[in-house]
Amino acid sequence: MTTPATPDINALARLAAQAQADLSRIGETGTDWVPEAEGIEHNVVVVGAGQSGLAAAFGLRRAGIGRVSLVDAAPAGQEGIWRGPARMTILRTPKVPPGPELGLPSLSFQAWYEAAYGVEAYAALPTVPREIWADYVAWFRSASAVEVRNGVTLTRVEPQEGRLRLHFTAEGKTFTETTRKLVLATGIAGSGGPFIPDVVADLPGKLFAHTHAFDPKALAGRRVAILGSAASAFDAAGALLEAGAGAVDLFSRGADLARGSAMKPFGFFGAWEHFHALPDADRWAVMAHFRRRASFPPPAAVKRAVAHANFRIHLDAGWRAVEPHGDGVRITLNSGAVFDADFILLGTGYQADARLYPPFADFAPAIARWSDKVAVEPEDAALASAPYLGPAFELVETEKGAAPFLADIHFLAFSAMTSTGRPVGDIASLRHNIPRAVAAIGRDLFVADRAKHLARFLAPVGTDDLPHDLYAGAIAAGDTLAAAE
Q: At what angle do helices 9-25 and 109-117 cross, to 10 degrees?
A: 150
The Cα diameter of the chain in Å comes to 110
CATH code 3.50.50.60 region(s) in the chain: 9-185+425-448, 198-258+294-346
The pLDDT of residue 461 is 85
Of 181, 182, 184, give the one whose Cα is nearest residue 446: 181
pTM, rounded to two decimals: 0.92
**Which residues is 149 bridged to in the sheet?**
71
Q: What share of the chain is helix, strand, coil (3-state, %, to 5)?
A: 40, 20, 40
Question: Contact 157/360 with Cβ under 8 angstroms?
Answer: yes
Superfamily (CATH) of domain 9-185+425-448? FAD/NAD(P)-binding domain (3.50.50.60)
User: Kind of pairing, strands 328-333 and 319-325?
Assistant: antiparallel
3-state secondary structure of 444: helix
Given CATH 3.40.50.300, say whether it is the number of domain 198-258+294-346.
Answer: no
d(CA 35, CA 65): 10
Number of H helices, E strands in the chain: 15, 17
Q: What is the amino acid identity at position 475?
A: I
Of 422, 383, 416, give the one whose Cα is nearest residue 93: 422
Please give the chain's pLDDT, 485 residues, in tens: 555 679 999 999 999 999 999 999 999 988 899 999 999 999 999 999 999 999 999 999 999 999 999 999 999 999 998 998 888 999 988 788 789 999 999 999 999 999 999 999 999 999 999 999 999 999 999 999 999 999 999 999 999 999 999 999 999 999 999 999 999 999 887 888 899 999 999 999 999 999 999 999 999 999 999 999 999 999 999 999 999 999 999 999 999 998 887 777 887 889 889 999 999 999 999 999 888 886 789 999 999 999 999 999 999 999 999 999 999 999 999 999 999 999 999 999 999 999 999 999 999 999 999 999 999 999 999 999 999 999 999 999 999 999 999 999 999 988 999 999 888 888 988 999 999 999 999 999 999 999 999 999 999 988 788 888 899 889 998 766 554 45
d(CA 318, CA 162): 51
Of 302, 304, 338, give the one whose Cα is nearest residue 225: 338
Buried b (16+ CB within 10 A) or exposed e, 326-363: eebbebebeeeeebebbbbbbbbbbbbbbbbbebbeeb
The pLDDT of residue 362 is 96
The pLDDT of residue 199 is 95
d(CA 349, CA 232): 8
CA-derived radius of gyration, the chain: 27
d(CA 431, CA 427): 8
3-state secondary structure of 109: helix
